[in-house]
Structure 1
Amino acid sequence: MKTYDIEVQRLKSLRHDNGMIEIGVDALVLPRALRDDQTTPTTRLRVPVEHARSLLILLKQQIAELDKLQPRSRRSGRC
């Protein structure tokens, strides 16, 4: 499995499409070499704090809009 270091440089867009939330970003993507002390390959996503805060706000807005589309009986959290 290939692993990468992904550094988000700019958030560009966020939208919901067919059950997926799509996030548009400008990002620096570099291949990552697996070190000896790592047991499993992991891709890392690095996000500046201000982008992380913006992303959290945008995700909350998108999820709230999705919840409005659910029938009232399914909004209570009980499945």
Structure 2
Amino acid sequence: MYVNIARIGGLNKYVGMNWLSWWYKRNLIMFANLARLIDTEEDRILFIVGASHTSIVTKFLVESEICEVVPPLSYLT
């Protein structure tokens, strides 16, 4: 859905793309902040964020291979 926001605007007026680049940057900032928190393989971090950020930040974490991403429900029951 978010990638379609890039289509909003007119010729040389990239309103949607400007917003989308801000949103993408915001996700990268969250990823970088999470990555800084990881010191050892034993560290556990509960990351609570809005649904629109979950999939992309998870993708960043998985692709970086700096940690294992585990769904929180097994810990919260």
TM-score, scaled to structure 2:
0.34
TM-score, scaled to structure 1:
0.33
- More relative contact order, 1 or 2 (CA 8 Å, 6+ apart): 1
Structure number with the higher helix fraction is: 2
Bigger-Rg structure (1/2):
1
